[in-house]
Chains A and B, each alone.
Chain A
Amino acid sequence: MKKIEAIIREEKLEPVRKALEEHGYFGMTVTEVCGRGRQKGIPLQWRVGEYRVDLLPKLKIEVVVLDEDLSKVVHAIASRARTGEMGDGKIFIIPVENAVRVRTGEEGMNAI
């Protein structure tokens, strides 16, 4: 099992959610996050003049997938979240030791 942590543009949630569904993953956790990368922030306006905000709002999607699904799911997320501009985000892949479904106590593959 692997956990995919995908940091994406806020407006890309719907296409990414659809992509995950197409691959049979309904479960996901979404968090509003702030971050910075190569996009280097944007200028905003004060009453006069400007200031820069470099921590920009993004969404973090966490989903745990089976090892055999990993590459196609990661590819699907990346292709749906991409605009080609700086600020498209990052995907991190983390090994998962175990998972437990709280309602039934099922573990491992059956729990995701």
Chain B
Amino acid sequence: MSINAADTAWILISAAMVMVMTPGLALFYGGMVRRKNVLATFMMSFSAMALVGVLWVLYGYSLSFGTDIGGLIGGLDFLGLRGVGQEPSAVYATTVPHLAYMVFQAMFAVITVALITGAVVERMKFSAILLFSVLWLTLIYSPVAHWVWGSGGWLAKFGALDFAGGTVVHICAGMSALALARLVGPRKGFRDGAPMEPHDVPMVALGAGILWFGWFGFNAGSALNSGGLAASAFVATNTSAAAAAFTWMALSWFYRRPTMLGVATGAVVGLVAITPAAGYVEPIMGIPIGAGGAVVCYYAMLLRSKWSIDESLDVWACHGMGGTWGALATGIFSSSAVNAAGANGLLYGNPMQFVKQLVAVIIVWVFTFGATLLLGKLVKAITGLRVTPAEESVGLDIAQHGERAYGGMIR
């Protein structure tokens, strides 16, 4: 195949839009922590950009998208981008330069690593985050990305659908977040009911807005061309985000008041829910998928808040459960009339697709949760997972990074 200029332009712009999601996530998470930990929370996202941006071109892309080994992992043929050049790949996104597809995928790996950190803000040691990120990218993200998206990956062959990363990005991040939060333990004062008040809600809202914008690159870019399918995924994405934001607002209003934090959270879970389905469903199906995602995540978060586990920013409830709902909803609402590469779902007379989605979800749940527990224990043995109690009291900004977010006496 030869290079298509419009497709190439769209994929490169999409990659840049997905890149912007990670600083957006830093704002989204940073606003929800206490002011003494805002920079440390930002660092967890920006360090993913710095670290994964290098590891991905060195070997991450090759492990995910290199020549298949037994359906489980990619080979080392693309090590250091060897063979990844200006010509299209023979199998992936065949109308754009292979480098464009590679860098688009790089941004997904970056944000997935950053997503997990919401579970452990305000107490996890920075060195432990870095070590965990290296191990997690290598041993969990790369294999799962290969299973689902790699040529020859076993979940792809099995027929599980994941348009833009409901399984690979969101379930992986969400389940790993839960496992890691369990290992790291709760924040000081968490069990005594000390209020962990979000220090800057406008920052959270701005972050959610940037995520919403970037998500068009994430989902519509995953069409890997600039044609009708990209437009269809784009509309499905916006519809789901809007439906979920509206639903979350209504739920919080039902219980007390319609909150900004609720609308911002609802938008994000709507985007999560539509991610695996975006290019397989009629765009109007964004409404049930988004609204359903908001209900699932709202009550998952309520459930989590009754546990003693301090999964601080609810990565499991938003991404793990939102991704699970999205993956299952793909098995309900997908239609091969939208995308010939997809399949019909339950609603179009093919219940087997729902079963396939369910199997894929359960396998990824179990693998990522279990493997994260093992990696976390390894990191604990090497660097320890937590800062000291004194450092935690002072705040990670000063204790871990030697800087503060809001300096100066005069406000």
Q: Spell out A's residues near B (CB within 8 Å).
A: 43-53
Q: Which residue of A lies closest to B195 (CB)?
A: A51
Task: Please determine whether A48 and B195 come into contact, CB atoms closer than 8 angstroms.
Answer: no
Task: Please determine whether B195 and A47 come into contact, CB atoms closer than 8 angstroms.
Answer: no
Chain A residues, Cβ within 8 Å of B298: 48
Q: Which residue of A lies closest to B260 (CB)?
A: A45
Within B240-287, the residues touching A (CB, 8 Å) are 252, 256-257, 259, 261-262, 265
* Complex Cα–Cα for A44 and B262 (A): 12
Task: Please determine whether B256 and A45 come into contact, CB atoms closer than 8 angstroms.
Answer: yes
Residues of B in contact with A, size category:
10 to 19
Shortest CB-to-CB span from A1 to chain B, Å, is 29
Shortest CB-to-CB span from B227 to chain A, Å, is 38
Q: A45-B257, A49-B305 are in contact. List 17 more A-B contacts (CB 8 A).
A: A44-B197, A45-B252, A45-B256, A45-B261, A46-B261, A47-B259, A47-B261, A47-B265, A47-B301, A47-B314, A48-B301, A48-B305, A49-B302, A50-B256, A51-B197, A53-B195, A53-B197
Shortest CB-to-CB span from B194 to chain A, Å, is 9
* Complex Cα–Cα for A61 and B91 (A): 72
Shortest CB-to-CB span from A29 to chain B, Å, is 15
* Complex Cα–Cα for A51 and B265 (A): 17
* Complex Cα–Cα for A50 and B301 (A): 13
Chain B residues, Cβ within 8 Å of A52: 195
7 A-B pairs with least C-beta separation = A51-B195, A48-B301, A48-B302, A45-B259, A47-B265, A47-B261, A49-B305
The proximity string for B residues 183-205 relative to A, scoring 1 for CB distances below 8 Å and 0 otherwise, is: 00000000000010110000000
Residue of B195, B252, B256 with most chain A CB atoms under a 10 A cut-off: B195
* Complex Cα–Cα for A45 and B314 (A): 15
The proximity string for B residues 160-195 relative to A, scoring 1 for CB distances below 8 Å and 0 otherwise, is: 000000000000000000000000000000000001
Shortest CB-to-CB span from B96 to chain A, Å, is 38
Q: Which residue of B lies closest to A44 (CB)?
A: B197
Q: Which residue of A lies closest to B261 (CB)?
A: A47
Chain B residues, Cβ within 8 Å of A45: 252, 256-257, 259, 261-262
* Complex Cα–Cα for A45 and B260 (A): 10
The proximity string for B residues 295-337 relative to A, scoring 1 for CB distances below 8 Å and 0 otherwise, is: 0001001100100000000100000000000000000000000
Chain B residues, Cβ within 8 Å of A49: 302, 305
* Complex Cα–Cα for A43 and B261 (A): 15
Shortest CB-to-CB span from A16 to chain B, Å, is 22
Q: Which residue of B lies closest to A41 (CB)?
A: B195
Chain A residues, Cβ within 8 Å of B198: 46
Shortest CB-to-CB span from A18 to chain B, Å, is 26
Chain B residues, Cβ within 8 Å of A48: 252, 298, 301-302, 305
Residue of A43, A46, A50, A51 with most chain B CB atoms under a 10 A cut-off: A46
* Complex Cα–Cα for A49 and B314 (A): 13
Q: Which residue of B lies closest to A47 (CB)?
A: B265
* Complex Cα–Cα for A53 and B197 (A): 9
Chain B residues, Cβ within 8 Å of A50: 256
6 A-B pairs within 8 Å (CB atoms) are namely: A44-B197, A47-B259, A47-B265, A48-B298, A53-B195, A53-B197
Shortest CB-to-CB span from A12 to chain B, Å, is 22
* Complex Cα–Cα for A43 and B259 (A): 13
Shortest CB-to-CB span from A30 to chain B, Å, is 14
Chain A residues, Cβ within 8 Å of B301: 47-48
* Complex Cα–Cα for A53 and B257 (A): 16
* Complex Cα–Cα for A70 and B220 (A): 71
Shortest CB-to-CB span from A32 to chain B, Å, is 9
Chain A residues, Cβ within 8 Å of B257: 45
* Complex Cα–Cα for A52 and B256 (A): 14
Chain A residues, Cβ within 8 Å of B195: 51-53
* Complex Cα–Cα for A44 and B259 (A): 10
Shortest CB-to-CB span from A52 to chain B, Å, is 7
Chain B residues, Cβ within 8 Å of A47: 259, 261-262, 265, 301, 314
* Complex Cα–Cα for A44 and B260 (A): 12
Shortest CB-to-CB span from A59 to chain B, Å, is 15
Shortest CB-to-CB span from B177 to chain A, Å, is 15
* Complex Cα–Cα for A50 and B261 (A): 12
Shortest CB-to-CB span from A47 to chain B, Å, is 5
Residue of A48, A52, A53 with most chain B CB atoms under a 10 A cut-off: A48
* Complex Cα–Cα for A51 and B356 (A): 41
